[in-house]
Amino acid sequence: MDGVTPDRFEELVGEALDELPPELLRAMDNVVVLVEERHPDEPELLGLYEGVALTERTSDYGGVLPDRITLYRDALVDLCADEDELRDEVAITVVHEIAHHFGIDEETLHRHGWG
């Protein structure tokens, strides 16, 4: 799929975040959502969560850089045939990576259809 500008992709990410339930957004703690072109080592990777999941944080947690959720624009665009499909895939990837922030592992996500 061609024709999705970086700005439009960022808008799609914003729309996906706007669709999340407010209580979920309020529960997210110390996390940023970023967009990069591709993962340098895994060019087909759609998204990545890096950080300490909420379920693994202890009383010692503090003074750390925010967790990072990175969406890989070019990999997502390559996967999709049109903007509607891209919108859906961005939303799925956002939910998938946020789930990791909440401590949900890959196996559980796949079992529930979010793999």
User: pLDDT (tens digit, 9 = 90+) per residue, 62-101?
Assistant: 787 889 999 999 999 999 999 999 999 999 999 999 988 8
Sheet containing strand 67-72, strands side by side: 31-36, 67-72, 47-50
The model's pLDDT over 9-36, given as tens digits with 9 standing for 90+, comes to 999 999 999 999 888 888 887 899 999 9
> Residue 61 corresponds to which tokens in the numbers above?
């947690």
Task: Answer for the pair 112, 96: CB distance below 8 angstroms, yes or no.
Answer: no
Q: Which residues pair with 72 in a beta bridge?
A: 36
